[in-house]
Chain A
Amino acid sequence: MSAIDLLQLNVWLDYIFTTLYVIVLVALSLHFIVGNVLVSGRAKRRFIGWEWPHHDGPPVPFLPKFLHFQHVASMIVLAITGLYIRFPGFLIGDVSNARTFMRGAHYVAMIIVTINLVWRLWYTFYSSQRDYREFAITKMDIITAPKVILYYIFVKSDKPHLAKYNVMQKATYTAFAPLLILQAITGFALVTFPFEFLGNTSPRDWILGWNLGLLLGSTDLAGWYMRIAHYVINWLFILLTTIHVYLSVSEDLPAFLNFFGLGFLDKNHGGHHGDEGHEGHGDDHDHGHVHAPVISKAD
């Protein structure tokens, strides 16, 4: 790809993802207003009748909740500071040295996310409470995937319940791991100041100098490609997280609240349902197994 194309690509990416994000926001708004409120009545049953999916699994341990909370906070910082680094007019006006501060905040959040990622992967695969099976997509998941999609587009009133997470959740959460690893690599490849412990070379030299840098004849050019990849993945995170938050809130608000230590805002918190397993916005038993005694399957 010629560099001229890279100039075009930079601008195209800005517009494509900005447009895409607006489309997603409009689509989710329509999904909620038309689908949840007008067509299916799910919103009324959930937010007014307070009928939410029932969870019968064990409570989610503290550690994954803690890591998730830290991860959310750090990712918000990363998204805001990252967009500021690319678009210095973003959020803050003319503030001297704001970019230096934003870069510092970006690096701190980056370190937290990287530690979190390693910690979560260890927890997933090697801890005594390892939960990698919860994310594994089974044959049944694939077979029943269309029904899950039909449920989300309000064609069906119920979706198959196979495990804690449905197939779409499994696919999304599993995709987060390689995306995070890629984002960490591309992010470190953008750091150009040298470190003593790297033999006075920069992370960019260390990551790109012996491969893509050699191939392209310039580590800085390789860094440009990394920046583009970093920017694209950043938008993928923003898009996926927006959808994730929307579905978490609209499908299982009590679990969402509980996951962030706000369970006391749940109207049924410590109340009549007595559901100790009600933690973690999983896919456990949707309609037909709700907190509230009144059950509707009209949608």
Chain B
Amino acid sequence: MLLSRRINIALVGAFACVLFSAHVAVAQEYDLNFTLPTAGKSGCMVCHADPNLGRLQGDKFVSYWVDPRPLDEGPHAGVLCTGCHLDFAYKAPHNIAETEWQRTARLACKNCHQDQWKVYSDGAHSLAVQPGAQATERELEKPLCGDCHGAHDIVALTDNPAGRALMHTQGRQVCGRCHEDYWDNYSDYYHGEAYRRGATDAPSCWQCHGAHDIFPSDDRRSQVHERTLSDTCAQCHPDTNEAYIAYAGLIHKRMDIAEANPLFGIISSAKDAIRGVFGQIRSWFT
């Protein structure tokens, strides 16, 4: 009986030691030194398919998990990891501090999608950095392929209505997170307000502004430049004229026009007053 109890205590102690050592292992630098197999995805996924894979960077836990499902179901199922992660050292641990592996991966699309890359390279989002020149901070802010299209969860758009429908919902993530002002003021009745509320038949940003071939609106090549705007509107409104396309002035400027309206202040005050009354009533019951 006594022996049995001692064995139990020893087992619990041993288990606690294992747990403690595992905890310590997470916090410590690991030391691996072996060559990774990269002929198939399985080499990378040995580690990266583990949802718990990550590193502590300061107080923050950074996950390096790659969900294999969207990867295997996506259009790049047949592409090797190194097809995009071109600059990876084939040894572990990866030296991520000295490489721009994320930017490299986000730009790797150009190696296959050369037509799109060419159009993108001419557009406002192109890096426009001369060979050997240092990219400025503004250049580094510009979106790369992966910033808009996603990475491992990328979906095909060509001949894929479901993928296009999914992409259509991503205006906030694709454009709005950088162009916040334009996202916020995309609030006219039938385009912006509807789009932001999830209307599938309202235009996403790139349906008017273009995608890879995007330019500032004052650039003559822009789809929303006054020279080309009627053609852009005609995608949905086939029989337009100059007077009609002036509606475009409402698309990003409805709130400006509204705020300049003399009744705006009165209605805003009334709204605030009503909200105040309801807020007061609510406070009585909460």
B79 touches A (CB below 8 Å): no
User: How many inter-chain contacts with C-beta < 8 Å in the A-B complex?
Assistant: 99
B247 touches A (CB below 8 Å): yes
Partner of B241, one of A6, A7, A8, A221: A221
Are A220 and B169 in contact, CB atoms less than 8 angstroms apart?
Answer: no
CB-CB nearest in chain B for A4: B246
B258 touches A (CB below 8 Å): yes
- Which of A41-49, A89-97, A129-137 contacts its partner? A89-97
Which residues of B are found within 8 Å of A118, using beta-carbon distances? none
Q: Which of B225-276 contact A (CB under 8 A)?
A: 237-244, 246-247, 249-250, 254, 257-258, 261, 263-264, 266-267, 270
CB-CB nearest in chain A for B187: A89
- Which of B33-41, B44-52, B198-206 contacts its partner? B198-206
Which residues of B are found within 8 Å of A221, using beta-carbon distances? 240-241, 243-244
Give the bracket for the number of chain B residues in contact with chain A. Answer: 20 to 34
Q: How distant is the Cα of A218 from the Cα of B238 in the complex, in angstroms?
A: 9
Are A15 and B198 in contact, CB atoms less than 8 angstroms apart?
Answer: no
Contact of A89 with B193 at beta-carbon distance under 8 Å, contacts A7-B247, A220-B240 already known: yes
Are B257 and A96 in contact, CB atoms less than 8 angstroms apart?
Answer: no
Contact of A100 with B239 at beta-carbon distance under 8 Å, contacts A15-B264, A22-B270 already known: no
A12 touches B (CB below 8 Å): yes
CB-CB nearest in chain B for A218: B241
Are A11 and B261 in contact, CB atoms less than 8 angstroms apart?
Answer: yes
Q: How distant is the Cα of A95 from the Cα of B263 in the complex, in angstroms?
A: 30
Q: How distant is the Cα of A7 from the Cα of B258 in the complex, in angstroms?
A: 10
Are A86 and B189 in contact, CB atoms less than 8 angstroms apart?
Answer: yes
Which residues of A are found within 8 Å of B66, using beta-carbon distances? none
A16 touches B (CB below 8 Å): yes
Which residues of B are found within 8 Å of A88, using beta-carbon distances? 189, 193-194, 196-197, 199
Are B267 and A97 in contact, CB atoms less than 8 angstroms apart?
Answer: no
Mask for B92-132, Cβ within 8 A of A = 1, else 0? 00000000000000000000000000000000000000000
Shortest Cβ gap from B199 to chain A (Å): 4
Contact of A7 with B199 at beta-carbon distance under 8 Å, contacts A217-B241, A218-B243 already known: no
CB-CB nearest in chain A for B274: A22
Shortest Cβ gap from B1 to chain A (Å): 66
The 23 sampled A-B contact pairs (Cβ below 8 Å) are A2-B246, A3-B244, A7-B257, A10-B250, A11-B261, A14-B258, A22-B270, A87-B193, A88-B189, A94-B196, A96-B198, A96-B199, A97-B198, A97-B200, A98-B197, A99-B197, A100-B201, A213-B239, A216-B241, A217-B241, A218-B243, A220-B241, A221-B241
Nearest 5 pairs between A and B by C-beta?
Answer: A3-B246, A15-B263, A96-B198, A218-B241, A221-B244
